[in-house]
Amino acid sequence: MPAPWWQSAVIYQIYPRSFADANGDGIGDLPGVTSKVPYLADVLGVDAIWLSPFYPSPQKDFGYDVADHADIAPEYGTLDDFDALMATCSEHGLRVIVDFVPNHTSDQHRWFLESRASRSAGKRDWYVWADRAPDGGPPSNWLSVFGGSAWEWDAETGQYYLHSFLTSQPDLNWRNPEVRAAQHDVLRFWLDRGVSGFRIDVAHFIAKDPEMRDNPAAIADDGDGWFKELGAYDAQSHLYDKGHPDVHGFFRELRKVFDDYPDTYSIGEIHEDDPRAWVSYLGAQGDELHQVFDFSLLYAPWDASALRELLDRQEAILPEGAWPNHVLGNHDEPRFAFRRGADAARIGAMLLLTSRGTPTLYYGDELGMTQPVIPPEDQLDPWGRAGEVVGRDGCRTPMQWDGSVHGGFSAPGTASTWLPVHPDHVTRNVATQLSDEDSILNLHRRLLAARKASPALQLGDYLPLDGLPDGVLGWERISGDDRRVVLLNLATRYEFVDGVHGTIEVATTVHREHERVTGRLLLAAHEGVVVRPA
């Protein structure tokens, strides 16, 4: 049996609002994405795109507050535009994955408007409603990820509703079979339009404790103050407000819908530190989600021994038949190059695209895009405005296509873009980097091409290399006769690696490519190479 397409694929995440603005209103749109398909498929060489939500929405959480699951937000286009995008993608052999937001809707969704109309409304039980606690307060101590109680009082009907995120994002009640059936129809709607799969937003949130018990404290307050720094949300152990075991039944039902359409792929956004809980979402029989995002590279200490440990650990915890995945950035996290710097961005690209697993590349990371610092009061992101975190506007600034006034994201005559284009677009952009052989964009292109040409890099086994100098991380990928050795010097000094024989196929420093290595390989600081063994 050949491996499923998504195991050898490279997925590229597009934040539609920020990718390309075709009609000059300063907001990215679907025709904009369509115009860039040749770049994605033929210039860069990725295999699939994942589109963050483009559905009608009040945009309180920039699309993760869905007001209609089966349409396109007017600022992004129409269903015809979506079909045109699908057609262009299919001409270029690019698959499309869409974002499925199961846990909540916008409070403007017709389901919620009907649910909140009265206690006896037909859809009352489609959301999570509860009476006051005996003390008159909210039904439990559950907190919103975005701050404050997860319960909002509805004076009209005299009950609270649950919102794990914004008050304008009420949680659906997945225990209601009508809700599940309606959500399955949403999946079918997009599958019928030709999508190849779904990224599932906060997937494990859909099952909560039916008794709505209080979450216990994460750790006792020992009075030394660090407990406070945790922030209220992290100070709770989230035993009861997400990840209830019933979630597995819900996922098995989703999987049946997926399996009705050949080759469908699903990947869940599940932030879960406990490895056993994490793998459980793949299903005991491999009958739930195809993959669960592995966010560990985002937070790992950036040194050879920590990364080695992390990659080995992932291999160890994955059950038989499961396939790893890697990610260095997304629309919720500060940009990789911003956090780690330009050198790490290049070596990170090599790690992402040559380790065993499905990589997801965040738009703009192929340029080493960083991010401007935006003060909380100027942020549009509700989380950023709350001031608790860096905020997410910074990682969502417009894609930098060229050096023109709006970076080629919007036409030069456009009044302004929805978020500022990073000032460094004058030099850091697709056009400039394409003409610079040593750019990080061309490094990505060479890595993607090498990957496509090598069964070992796509689907081969992972064999970590022992006995390397301290700062160097290395492994071999093997598929039959095809082999590649990857060596990454994460140290800030040069290192020698002995016993290497072959030709450098890709290097973070382009001048080293095609070099023959006969025994001793010198790696400059922050240099990484893919060697084709002799």
- Per CB under 6 A, residues contacting ligand GLC are 61, 64, 101, 165, 201-202, 269, 331-332
For the bound state, the minimum distance from the C-beta of residue 66 to ligand GLC, rounded and expressed in Å, comes to 9
d(CA 405, CA 414): 9
388: partner contacted, choices ligand GLC, Ca ion, none (Cβ within 5-8 A by kind): none
- The residue among 504, 496, 495, 456 whose CA lies nearest residue 476 is 456
With the C-alpha atoms ordered 105, 107, 108, 109, is the resulting torsion angle positive or negative? positive
Torsion of CA 130, 131, 132, 134, to 10 degrees: -120
Least gap, CB of 99 to ligand GLC (angstroms)? 8
Closest CB to ligand GLC among residues 165, 190 = 165
Q: Tell me, letter by letter, the H, E, C secondary structure of 326-364.
A: EECCCCCCCCHHHHHCHHHHHHHHHHHHHCCCEEEEECC
Residue 315 binds which entry of ligand GLC, Ca ion, none, CB below 5-8 Å type-dependent: none
- Catalytic, 287? Answer no
Measured distance CA(45)–CA(92) in Å, rounded: 10
Least Cβ distance, residue 333 to ligand GLC (angstroms)? 9
* Nearest-angstrom CA–CA distance, 391 and 389: 5
Residue nearest ligand GLC (C-beta atom) = 64
**Smallest gap, in angstroms, from Cβ of residue 376 to ligand GLC?**
16
**171 interface partner picked from ligand GLC, Ca ion, none, CB below 5 to 8 A per type:** none
In this complex, which beta carbon is closest to ligand GLC, that of residue 242 or of residue 356? 242
Total chain residues near Ca ion (CB under 5 A): 5
- C-beta of 375: minimal distance to ligand GLC in Å? 20
Quick one: tokens of 398? 């417009």
- Per the CB < 8 A criterion, the answer to whether 13 and 52 are in contact is yes
Nearer Cβ to Ca ion, position 30 or 292? 30
Pick between residue 191 and residue 202 the one whose CB is nearest to ligand GLC. Answer: 202
Which of the choices Ca ion, ligand GLC, none does residue 165 contact, using the CB cut-off of 5 to 8 A by kind? Answer: ligand GLC
Distance CA 320, CA 443 (A): 33
Nearer to ligand GLC, 96 or 202 (CB): 202
* Residue 29 partner contact from Ca ion, ligand GLC, none using kind-dependent CB cut-offs of 5 to 8 Å: Ca ion
Which residues make Cβ contacts (< 8 Å) with residue 69, sequence separation at least 6? 55, 186, 189
Are 89 and 194 within 8 A, CB to CB? Answer: no
Picked from Ca ion, ligand GLC, none, the partner binding residue 44 (CB below 5 to 8 A depending on kind) is none
Fill in the per-residue mask, 18 to 37: x = in contact with Ca ion (CB under 5 A), - = not in contact. Answer: ---x-x-x-x-x--------
Rounded Cα distance, 23 and 39, in Å? 19
The sheet carrying 129-130 orders its strands as 129-130, 159-162, 151-154
482 binds, among ligand GLC, Ca ion, none (CB under 5 to 8 A by kind): none
Does residue 78 bind Ca ion (CB under 5 A)? Answer: no
Question: Residue holding tokens 């990725």?
Answer: 46
Instruction: Identify the active-site residue in 269, 294, 333, 476.
Output: 269
Report residue 171 CA to chain centroid gap.
21
**Contact status, residue 355 vs residue 464, Cβ threshold 8 Å:** no
Task: Compare residues 197 and 455 and give the one whose CB is closer to ligand GLC.
Answer: 197
If the CB atoms of residues 24 and 158 are measured against Ca ion, the closer one turns out to be 24
**Shortest distance in whole angstroms from residue 294 CB to ligand GLC:** 15
Give dist(CA 266, CA 358) in Å, integer.
12
Q: From the CB of 166, what's the least distance to ligand GLC, in Å? A: 8
Is there binding between residue 296 and Ca ion (CB under 5 A)?
A: no
Of the residues 81, 201, 288, 476, only one is catalytic, namely 201
Name the CA radius of gyration of the chain, rounded: 24
Assess whether 309 carries a catalytic annotation. no
- Which residues make up the interface to Ca ion (CB under 5 A)? 21, 23, 25, 27, 29
The catalytic residues are 201, 269
